[in-house]
């Protein structure tokens, strides 16, 4: 599979039984990944940098590092540095494509790098650790106050719980379900592009699952809302944790019952049917109007699988 996607779980030992004690923090092999505004501290080769829990630069954290899990090298944590500001301009942070890198004086041999650009180079356990850490950090950043009474909450269970000291309410990390769908009709695949995306970038349609919905219903609703295409049978294919900020992508196949496209201009700037031969050109990087999919994301893996007739083959996905 050329478009192997990142962040696959299974190699990180989440060791939930160790979250209530201090053994992991006292372990000689304990190290923490470091994040800033969603970016990851990485070395010149694009490898995640893990530092000691007592590193002086962690003074720029608001809260202690959270426990991510056990790796063969030892316990791994995730730390955020919200109190630090880089000396250089950082106005591009948060844009869809951010190729800037920030240098923290405490880490002279590393830079803060956008994680999407690192996806193809991360090992499986690195990807799972980074995805888990970034999602946890993102949740803590947006859930510092109790949703029940508004009091500042405190970290418990090594970062897997926040508890309100006022009303006692416990809050747990959330994951947002998102559907991403390869919608097909005969020998054609539906692709679309967001108004905010770079030129020539197209992908599969996607959207959040709403309360009270199934995955299948979300596929039909989102496709209809964005493109006016009606979808019939829907099949689950594969999933990918997507820590931007804390989603789980459910890759699906949907059979279109109609083909006339009417684009919702708020969601899409364009949508089109592409033939299998066109998709092969896209994957080869020779299509005149559409770039290759981003490596590491499940969208590219689904597109490639459909192009080669493997989309619904469970052996292909290892399901």
Q: Are residues 221 and 275 in the same domain?
A: yes
Q: Is residue 316 part of a domain?
A: no
Instruction: Collect the ranges in the chain with pLDDT lower than 50.
Output: none
Range of the domain at 164: 143-174
Q: Are residues 181 and 289 in the same domain?
A: yes
Q: Is residue 203 part of a domain?
A: yes
Q: Is residue 26 part of a domain?
A: yes
Which backbone phi and psi does 41 adopt, to 5 degrees?
A: -75, 120
Q: Is residue 8 part of a domain?
A: no
CA 3 centroid distance within chain: 16
User: What pLDDT shows up at residue 36?
Assistant: 96
Q: Are residues 186 and 147 in the same domain?
A: no
Q: Is residue 315 part of a domain?
A: no
Q: Strands 188-193, 74-80: parallel, antiparallel or unpaired by DSSP?
A: unpaired
Instruction: Give start and end residues of each alpha helix (H) in 189-297.
Output: 215-227, 276-284
Structural tokens at position 63:
């809260």
> How many domains, the chain?
3
Kindly report, residue by residue over 246-290, the tens digit of the pLDDT: 999 999 999 999 999 999 999 999 999 999 999 999 999 999 999
- What CATH number did the domain enclosing 228 receive? 3.90.79.10
Q: Is residue 235 part of a domain?
A: yes
Angle between helices 276-284 and 298-307 (to 10 degrees): 130
User: What pLDDT shows up at residue 173?
Assistant: 97
Q: Are residues 111 and 232 in the same domain?
A: no
User: What pLDDT shows up at residue 89?
Assistant: 62
Closest CA to 244 of 178, 317, 161, 147: 178
Q: Are residues 131 and 164 in the same domain?
A: no
Q: Are 259 and 273 contacting, i.e. CB atoms less than 8 angstroms apart?
A: yes
For the chain, count helices (H), then strands (E).
6, 15
Mark which of 153, 174, 195 sits at the end of a domain. 174
DSSP letter string, 23-66: HHHH-TT-EEEEEETTEEEE-TTSPBPEE-TT-GGGGG-SSPPE
User: What pLDDT shows up at residue 144?
Assistant: 96
């Amino acid at each position: 599979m050329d478009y192997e996607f990142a962040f696959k779980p299974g190699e990180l030992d989440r060791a939930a039984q160790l979250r209530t004690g201090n053994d992991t923090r006292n372990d000689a092999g304990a190290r923490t990944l470091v994040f800033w505004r969603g970016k990851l501290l990485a070395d010149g080769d694009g490898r995640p940098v893990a530092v000691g829990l007592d590193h002086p630069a962690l003074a720029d954290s608001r809260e202690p590092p959270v426990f991510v899990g056990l790796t063969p090298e030892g316990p791994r944590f995730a730390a955020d540095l919200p109190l630090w500001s880089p000396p250089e301009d950082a106005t591009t942070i948060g844009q869809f494509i951010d190729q800037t890198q920030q240098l923290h004086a405490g880490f002279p041999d590393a830079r803060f790098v956008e994680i999407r650009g690192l996806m193809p180079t991360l090992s499986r356990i690195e990807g799972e650790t980074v995805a888990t850490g970034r999602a946890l950090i993102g949740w803590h950043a947006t859930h510092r106050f109790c949703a029940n009474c508004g009091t500042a909450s405190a970290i418990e269970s090594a970062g897997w719980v926040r508890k309100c000291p006022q009303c006692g309410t416990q809050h747990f990390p959330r994951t947002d379900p998102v559907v991403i769908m390869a919608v097909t009709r005969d020998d054609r695949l539906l692709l679309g592009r967001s108004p905010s995306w770079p030129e020539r970038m197209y992908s599969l349609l996607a959207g959040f699952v709403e309360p009270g919905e199934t995955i299948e219903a979300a596929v039909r609703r989102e496709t209809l809302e964005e493109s006016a295409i009606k979808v019939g049978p829907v099949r689950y294919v594969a999933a990918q944790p997507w820590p931007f900020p804390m989603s789980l992508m459910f890759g699906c196949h949907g059979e279109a019952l109609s083909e006339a496209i009417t684009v919702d201009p708020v969601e899409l700037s364009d949508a089109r049917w592409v033939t299998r031969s066109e998709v092969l050109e896209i994957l080869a990087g020779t299509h005149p109007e559409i770039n290759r999919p981003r490596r590491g994301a499940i969208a590219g893996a689904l597109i490639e699988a459909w192009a080669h007739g493997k989309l619904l083959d469970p052996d292909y996905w290892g399901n």
